[in-house]
Amino acid sequence: MLPAVKNYRDLARNRLSRFAFDYLDGGAEDGHAMARNLASWSRVTLKPRAMVDVTEVDAGVDVFGKRQALPVFVGPTGLNGLYWPRAEEALARAAHTAGVPFVLSTASTSLIEDVRAATDGELWLQLYVQKNRRIAESMMARAQTAGFNALMLTVDTMVHGKRDHDIRNGFRMPVPWTIRLMTDLAMHPRWCLRMLRQGGSPQLVNLARSSGTASNIEQQAAALSRQMDMGLTWDDIAWVRRHWRGPVIVKGLLTVGDALRAQRAGADGIVISNHGGRQLDAAPSPLEQLPPIADAVRSKMHIFVDGGVRRGSDIAKALALGAHAVLLGRAPLYGLAARGPRGVAEVMDILRDEFEITLRLLGVAHASRLSSNCVA
């Protein structure tokens, strides 16, 4: 096991091709939003209490009436087949070994049904809505049949943010064969062999199945990006409710006003998120928006936050500022790209150990007792 999540990032950089690592690690435009996300955690300091019995600590929390071992989710991320074959199955198994839910992305490279077959743990579905809403309806129906527990509706991707690194690398799906790419692949033979063993370019298989798209990555990518429903409004929460039994969480909010609108529209929870700094480069960091949003709606709905969680102490900071749990995006992927399923498990163990250490050093024996009193 490596010392920290950042060490798995370093190893992933060495093992992935350049375009794959940049897709994983890069943000929108100049990377300011992503930098703000990472910096925001270091600006929060915590107040430890002394002489508290922390022989035993309880790192678990209740979310929608269910107990989970840590206040984290392995969050939804797309095109994970770039990092390891059958990536979502590996991520789901690691999440459930850690005692936390896994959120499967619409842009996954593993089928809903295959992820369910890989584990009997708790699964959530993250949903993008295309112009043809029958695609989203099909995905919801398939996830319900497979026993997924909750739906995470992402609302901050009407269009894809401008990502300079993808343009610079010539990255698109399918991956174009250029001299630059072939040189990149030659420098990463182990990664190249893994991709060849899984049949080359990963496919957006869930989108393909629900849209009736052939095994053609260009058509799948078009269905995911150029055909997003830009007319989605708060009234459409009612449409989601007609097709989904269970909690509905709206992901991609950054203002108190939108949090209140989500609550009035009937959402059960929200994710304060700027999409990992990959959409609007001028967006604020989610952590900075957490306290006022928590003040406004925490008593009425579940609040989750993401954006640069790299340490167990970050989890404690988020809960102290009003979140019920955090979403992990890049951190498990660094583990996956660095060491495969073993790397994901190690990253989850590191975050658990660091979170429990933070609880003990704070003098807080139960994660549920983290509050603003813990923030300096």
Are 167 and 71 within 8 A, CB to CB? Answer: no
Catalytic residue among 165, 188, 275, 302: 275
pLDDT single digits (tens) 169-227 = 776 666 666 666 666 666 777 777 776 666 566 788 888 888 877 665 566 665 555 57
Residue burial 298-335, b: 16+ Cβ < 10 Å; e: rest: beebbbbbbbbbbbbbbbbbbbbbbbbbbbbbbbbbbb
Instruction: Give the per-residue pLDDT at 224.
Output: 56
C-alpha atoms less than 13 angstroms from C-alpha of 350 in its C-beta half-sphere: 22
Instruction: Give the per-residue pLDDT at 167.
Output: 77
Locate the domains of the chain by residue range. 5-374
Instruction: Give the per-residue pLDDT at 106.
Output: 95
Mean pLDDT of the residues in the chain: 92
Distance CA 126, CA 124 (A): 7
* Tokens (6 digits) for 343: 């790397």
pLDDT single digits (tens) 288-330 = 999 999 999 999 999 999 999 999 999 999 999 999 999 999 9
CB neighbourhood size of 274 (10 A)? 28
Per-residue pLDDT of the chain (376 residues; tens, 9 = 90+): 999 999 999 999 999 988 889 999 999 999 999 999 999 999 999 999 999 999 999 999 999 999 999 999 999 999 999 999 999 999 999 999 999 999 999 999 999 999 999 999 999 999 999 999 999 999 999 999 999 999 999 999 988 888 888 778 776 666 666 666 666 666 777 777 776 666 566 788 888 888 877 665 566 665 555 578 899 999 999 999 999 999 999 999 999 999 999 999 999 999 999 999 999 999 999 999 999 999 999 999 999 999 999 999 999 999 999 999 999 999 999 999 999 999 999 999 999 999 999 999 999 999 999 999 999 9
Class of domain 5-374 as given by CATH: alpha beta
Specify the pTM. Answer: 0.93
Q: Which of 234, 247, 198, 223 lies closest to 134, judged by CA?
A: 223
Answer yes or no: 188 catalytic: no
